[in-house]
Structure 1
Amino acid sequence: MAPKVLVSDSLSETAVQIFRDRGIEVDFEPSLGKDKEKLAEVIGKYDGLAIRSATKVTAKLLESATNLKVVGRAGIGTDNVDKEASSKKGVIVMNTPFGNMITTAEHAIALMFAVARQIPEADASTQAGKWEKSKFMGVELTAKTLGVIGAGNIGGIVCDRARGLKMKVVAYDPFLSEEKASNMGVEKVELDELLRRADFITLHVPLTDQTRNILGRENLAKTKKGVRIINCARGGLVDENALAELIKSGHVAGAAFDVFAEEPATENPLFGLPNVVCTPHLGASTTEAQENVALQVAEQMSNYLLDGAVENALNMPSMTAEEAKTMGPWVKLAEHLGGFIGQMTEDAIKAINVTYDGIASEMNLKALDCAVVAGILKASQPDVNMVSAPVIAKERGIQISTTSQDQSGAFDGYIKVTVVSESKERSIAGTVFSDGKPRFIQIKGINIDAEVGNHMLYTTNNDVPGIIGKLGTLLGEHNVNLANFTLGRSKQGGEAIAIAYVDDAVPASVVEAMKATGNFKQVKPLEFNVG
C-alpha cells in the first residue's frame, strides 16, 4: 500500500506534485492546520504530515496520529512541533535548513546596508516632506570589519558577500577550522577579540543553552564604540534591554533586528530608538525561498517513506538514500541482535555496549546504535522504533556506549552487543554475509553460524549425547514442526547451545515440557520479523 501524506499548510502545487510523482498518496488541505479538532479527527490516516508554521503538532495531536511516521516542516523553525512527544511516539521530525540560506544571508546584508545608511528613517523623513539631508550621515561598508558570530551555512554566505563588499571579515565559531577559515578568506578569532575589533556584528547561530544571550550585557560592554549589530538568526541571542541602553548612551551606533526574544513582537525595548531597523522575521520571506523549502520537504519526506533515507531530522541520525540501501542489512542485523538479547533479558537493563568491527565501524554508527536499542526495547515495548528507542532508554536510565575497532577476526566486519542487567551480562555478535542476510556468529562467547528465522527456539545444555534426539522428539510429540537447527559448544563436554527453526510460535506448554526433562538449562522461544 502506498504511503499517505497530508499537507495541512500552504505548500506550492509543485511540492504537492512531487509526492504524487513519487507514488505517494497526498491530500492537500492548506487550511486544515488551523483547525485542531478536525486535524485530530483525520491525522490517524496518514504516514506523513507536511507543514509550515500554522499547524501545531502537539502531544495531544500525536495521540491521534496512530500511523504517523514523519513530520516535515517546510522551513527551519520547528517551535510549532513538540519534538519530545514526537520522539516518544517514534515520529521523525524533519526541517529544511538549507532552502532559505541565501535569502536569510541576503536579508542580513540588506539590514547591514539599511543601518549603515539609516535608510528607513531617511525614507520616512523624505516622504514626510522634510528633506533632512544633513541629519542622515551614514558610514561606508568598504574597509570596515565585520564580525560574524557563527560561520556555518548562512554565516558562511554572509562572509562571502561581505568580502565581495571589500569588508574585512573576522569570525567566531568553535567549529570552524583554521583551514576552512583560510579557504573562506576570513580570520578566525575568539569572541572577545571579535567584540573588540568589529565595526559591524552579525549573528548566525542557533539558540541553545550555550548561545543564549551570547551578546549579553557583559559582552555588549566589550564591543567597539560605534558598533552596529545585526540579528537575523534567533531571538534570545542578544540581551535587548542591555542593547537598548547602549544605543541610548551612544556606545552602539545602531542595530538591525529581524528576530526577537518574544514573537510576534508587538512591543520591544528596541522599538522607537534612533537608527534601529526592525523587520517581522522576514529572513526566509522570498518567493524563491518559500518554493525551495516546500520542494525540499516534499523530497525529504518521500525519500524517507519510500527508501528509508533520513535527511535533516532533528530527532534521528541522518542517513542518506545510498546509506540506507548499503546499510539496510546491517541495520536489520543490529535490530535482530538487539531483539535476541532483549528477549533473553527479563530483568532491568543497566547498560548497553555495542562494538563495531571492520567495515561495520565505517558505517553510520548513530543509526546502527538506534537500531540495536530499538531491538532490545521492543521485547518489552513492541511499539518502539529507531526514533523513540534512545528517548525511552534515557528515561529508563540505561547507559549506552559504543566501541569501534579495525578488523580483528575472520569476518570483514561484525557487530557485538553486550547488555548488563541487574543479574547478569549477556552478549551476542553477528555479521552480514555476501548474500545480504544477517547471521548470528557468536552467543555467550560460543561460535555459531545461525540465520535469523521468524520463529526460533534457543536452548542451552551440557554437551552430552542424545540432546538433539530429545529435542526433536519433544517437538514432534507436541506437533511442532522442526525446519532446521544450528549447534555450537564451548568445548567437548562443555556448555552447548542450539537454535531450532520452527514453522510457528512455540507454545508455552512445549517450553515447560522441555524444562521438565532436566536436560536443558535454558529454553527460550524467540520471535523475529524477518519478512
Structure 2
Amino acid sequence: MKILVSDDVSMKGVDLLRENGYEVDVKKNLDEQGLIDCIGEYDGLITRSMTHVTEKVIEAATKLKVIGRAGVGVDSIDLKSATARGIVVVNTPTSNTLAATEHTCAMIMAITRHIPQAHNSLMAGNWDRKTFTGIQLQNKTIGIIGVGRIGSRIAKRMQAMEMKTIGYDPYIPEERFKQLGVEQVDLDTLFKRSDYITMHTPLTKETRGLIGKEEIAKMKDGVRVINVSRGAVLDIYALAEALKSGHVAGAAIDVFPTEPLTKDINPFLGMDNVVITPHLGASTVEAQIGVSVDVAEGVMEALKGEPVATAVNMAPVPPNVYNVIHPYFDLMERMGNLAVYLADAPMKEIEVEYTGELADTETRLLTTAVLKGALNPILQESVNYVNAAEVAKTRHIAIKEINSQSNGYFVNSVTVRVRTNKGEHAIVGVLFNGTEAKIVQIDEYRVDFTPEGYLLLVPHVDQPNMIGQISTILGQAHINIMGMQVGRMTKSGNNIMAIAVQDDIPNDIMVKLRSINGILDMKLIHCDIH
C-alpha cells in the first residue's frame, strides 16, 4: 500500500511505515490542485495543519482509506466528506500534550514578567528595569476553559505557583473538578473573576468564535488572555482592540484563525503588551517524534482494517475501555462473518449479547466489528469501523445490543444472533486465556473450533460412518483436512461436524457430500477476514 506524507513530520514515523512494508512518498507544500492530481494513487495520507483536505480532494481520493493528522486539530480536514466515504480520520491527541502544556506555562510567564520585551530592549543597548516591572502569580486567579488533557495539567502547574484555579468545561463531571482542585464555574463567572484566562478546547461548532467582543467586555479590567489551543476559538481583532484600550493588560497567542499569520492580517504589529509565537505549542523534539510515530501506528492499524482508538470520526473510546475490548475485535468480526454465511436469506436484524466483563463496559465498537464482518462478504463496497453502522442502516438491518450477567455456561462470552424472514441463527464465542478466539456454540450445537481458514459445517443425523464417508470424499478429491470436531446438539438427536480444510471445496465435491444419507445441511465458510 502507498502512503503520502504531505507535511513536515519526523522521519521516525516515515521509517516505521517503510519498515512495515509500506511505500511512502513525501511531497510537501501541495496546494489543493496538487493534492487532487496525485491523491488517487494513495491508500493513506498523513498531514499536519498546512495541508487542507477538502471535499474536492476526498472526491479525487478513490483509493484512500485513512487520513492521519500528526497532531490534535482536524479542522483542516473535511470530516463530513471523509466519513461519508468511509475514510478513517485519526489524530494524535496525547503525543504533544506535555509540549502544549509547557508552552502555555512559558507564555503565561512571558506576559507576566515581560520577558521578550525586556530581552529586545537589552539587545538594543538599553538598560530599562522600570518599564518592565511585572506582577506575581501568587494568589491570582486563572480561568481554564477546557479542563481536559492539557487544561488539567495547566491547573496542576499553576497551583504549584500558588494560583487559584477555576474552570469551565461542560463535558467534565463535577467529581473530576474536585479531584483536580479546580473550582467549577460557568463561563460568565470565569470571565468576571479571572486575572488570567487560558483556552484549551478543540475547534467545534460550539467553540468556534467562543470569545469575541462581547465576551471580552465581560472580563475584568487588567485580565491577561492566553490561547495555545485553536486559532478560531478567539477573535484576535477584538482582542487587539481591548489590548489597545488597556481593558486587557496582556495577551499570549500561539494559534491564529488563518495561518500563517502574515503582516497584512496581523492585528498585533507594533504592540508591546502581547507575545505571539508561530504555532509552537507542539514544537519540541520529543513531541514531534511522538506525533509522527503515533500517527504512523494509527494509519497502519486503519489500513489493516483494525479499529483505531484515536479515530476522530468514530465514537471515542477511553483508554481503560479500549484495553478491555481490544482483544475481542478479531473474534467479533469473525463471528459476524460466520453469521452471514449461516443466514438463509437477507438479514433483517443482528443482535449481539454480551456477558461478564463486556456487559459492564462500552461495547458499541465491538458491535461495529460484528457488522463489519457480516457486511464485507456480501457487499462490493468496503465496510469498515467508520461506515459499518450507516451501511447497515441503509440496508434496513436492525442492530440490537443486550448486556446480561451470564449465559449459563461461560462467564465471559458473546452471542451473535442473525435474523432473517426464514428464521434465526445464533453463534456463541469466547476468548480462551484472553487471546485465543473460539466458537463454542452454533444454534443448538456445542462445538469448539477456531474460526480460521475454510470451515465446513455439517449438521447430520447421529449415526455410524458419517465421519468416514465425508473423509473419504474429501480425501479422493485431494482436499486436506486440517482438523475435525463433532459437536452434539444441546438437547438430543443430531450432531454437527466442523471440518477445517486447507483449500476451497469445488461445487461438484459439495454435491457429493450433500448426497450422503443423513446430511441435514452443509455450509462452506471462508472464516478469514479482510
Q: TM-score, normalised by structure 1?
A: 0.74
Aligned to 2:340: 342
Which of 145, 154, 165 matches 1:158?
Answer: 154
Measure, in 1, the Cα distance between the counterparts of 2:182 and 2:222.
Answer: 22
The alpha-carbon deviation at position 393 of structure 1 amounts to 3.7
Q: Which moved more, 1:483-492 or 1:101-110?
A: 483-492
Q: Which runs of 5+ in 1 are unaligned?
A: none
Provide, for residues 78-125 of structure 1, a one-character-per-residue CA deviation record: whole Å limited to 9, x for no partner: 344455565676665433333333332343334445555677788999
Report deviation, 1:528: 1.5
The residue that corresponds to 1:207 in the other structure is 203
CA contact (8 A) 1:358 1:405 kept: yes
Residue of structure 2 in register with 1:143 after alignment: 139
Question: Is contact 1:352–1:419 with CA below 8 Å preserved after alignment?
Answer: yes
* 1:98 and 2:94 correspond: yes
1:354 equivalent to 2:352? Answer: yes
C-alpha deviation, 1:168, in angstroms: 1.4
Secondary structure in 2 matching 1:230: strand
1:480–1:506 CA contact under 8 A, matched in 2: no
What count of residue pairs does the alignment treat as equivalent? 517
Tell me if 1:29 matches 2:26: yes
Superposed CA deviations along residues 421-470 of structure 1, whole A, max 9, x for unmatched, are 56655432122345965333333355444553533444668x69799599
Equivalent position of 1:379 in the other structure: 377
Instruction: Give the CA deviation at 1:389.
Output: 2.9
Does 2:58 correspond to 1:59? Answer: yes
What do the CA deviations read for 1:476-519 (whole angstroms, capped 9, x no partner)? 799696954645446446x8766565565455567789999998
Task: Measure the CA separation in 2 of the matches of 1:348 and 1:239.
Answer: 54
Q: Distance in 2 between matches of 1:295 and 1:435?
A: 28
Q: Kindly indicate whether the alpha-carbon contact (under 8 Å) linking 1:482 and 1:500 is maintained by their aligned counterparts in 2.
A: no
Structure 2: distance between partners of 1:11 and 1:390? 33
Cα distance change on mapping 1:42 and 1:443 into 2, 3 Å? closer
Offset at residue 336 of structure 1 (A): 1.8
Counterpart CA distance in 2 for 1:264 and 1:245 is 21
Tell me the distance in 1 between the aligned counterparts of 2:125 and 2:239: 31
Q: Distance in 1 between matches of 2:413 and 2:166?
A: 46
Match of 1:392 in 2: 391
Alpha-carbon distance in 2 for matches of 1:251, 1:242: 11
1:99-138 matched pairs, under 5 angstroms: 99-113=95-109, 115-116=111-112
Secondary structure in 1 matching 2:61: helix
Q: Any conservation in 2 of the 1:90–1:385 contact (CA below 8 Å)?
A: yes
Alignment partner of 1:290 is 2:288: yes
Q: Which residue of 2 aligns with 1:439?
A: 438
CA contact (8 A) 2:86 2:384 kept: yes
Distance in 1 between residues matched to 2:374 and 2:455, nearest whole Å:
17
CA contact (8 A) 2:213 2:235 kept: yes
Query: Taking structure 1 as reference, are residues 436 and 265 closer, same or farther at Cα in structure 2, changes over 3 Å only?
Result: closer
Q: Secondary structure of the equivalent of 2:233?
A: coil
Q: Tell me the equivalent position of 1:427.
A: 426
**Which residue identity does 2:95 align to in structure 1?**
G
In 2, are the aligned partners of 1:361 and 1:404 still within 8 Å (CA)? Answer: yes
**What residue number does 1:187 align with?**
183
| Distance 1:479-1:95 versus aligned 2 partners, 3 A rule | same
Structure-2 separation of matches of 1:117 and 1:32: 38
Cα distance in structure 1, aligned partners of 2:435 and 2:147 = 42
Cα distance in structure 2, aligned partners of 1:31 and 1:434: 47
How does 1:231-380 map onto structure 2 within 5 Å? 231-238=227-234, 252-265=248-261, 275=273, 278-287=276-285, 289-298=287-296, 310=308, 312-315=310-313, 328=327, 330-345=328-343, 349=347, 351-359=349-357, 361=359, 365=363, 367-380=365-378
Verify the 8 A CA contact 2:343 2:419 in the aligned structure 1. no
Matches within 5 A, 1:463-502: 472=470, 483=481, 484=484, 486-489=486-489, 491-492=491-492, 499=498
Paired residues of 1:334 and 1:368 also in contact (CA < 8 A): yes
What is aligned with 1:227? 223
Matched AA of 2:417:
T
SS at match of 2:280: coil
Moved more, 374-383 or 517-526: 517-526
CA offsets per residue over residues 202-257 of structure 1, 9 Å max, x none?
11011223434443666555433443332221133245676677667765555443
Once the two structures are superposed, residues 246-274 of structure 1 have per-residue CA deviations (whole angstroms, 9 ceiling, x without a partner) of 66776555544333344445566965797
Question: Against the structure 1 CA distance between its residues 196 and 418, is the aligned structure 2 distance closer, same or farther, given a 3 Å change threshold?
Answer: farther
AA of the residue aligned to 1:526: I
Residue 307 and residue 452 in structure 1: after superposition, are their counterparts in 2 closer, same or farther (change >3 A)? closer
Equivalent position amino acid for 1:29 in 2: V
Task: Provide the identity percentage.
Answer: 34
Counterpart position of 1:171 = 167
Note the alpha carbon deviations across 1:116-158, whole angstroms, 9 max, x for none.
5677788999999999999988654332211001122221232
Look up the SS of the partner of 1:146 in the other structure: strand
CA distance in 1, matches of 2:98, 2:195: 23
Q: Deviations over 1:169-223 (max 9, x none)?
A: 1122345455654554433334343233112211101122343444366655543
- For the 8 Å contact 1:15–1:294, the answer to whether it is kept is yes
TM-score, normalised via structure 2 length: 0.74
The answer to whether the 8 A contact 1:244-1:269 is kept is no
Q: 1:364-422 CA distances to partner (integer Å, 9 max, x unpaired)?
A: 84553332121111121264344553453455565545444444432242111134556
- CA distance in 1 between counterparts of 2:246 and 2:397 reads 54
Deviates more, 1:245-254 or 1:73-82: 245-254
CA distance in 2, matches of 1:147, 1:106: 17
> Structure 1 residue 10 and structure 2 residue 8: aligned?
yes
AA aligned to 1:416 is T
C-alpha change, 1:13 and 1:352, in structure 2 (3 Å) is same
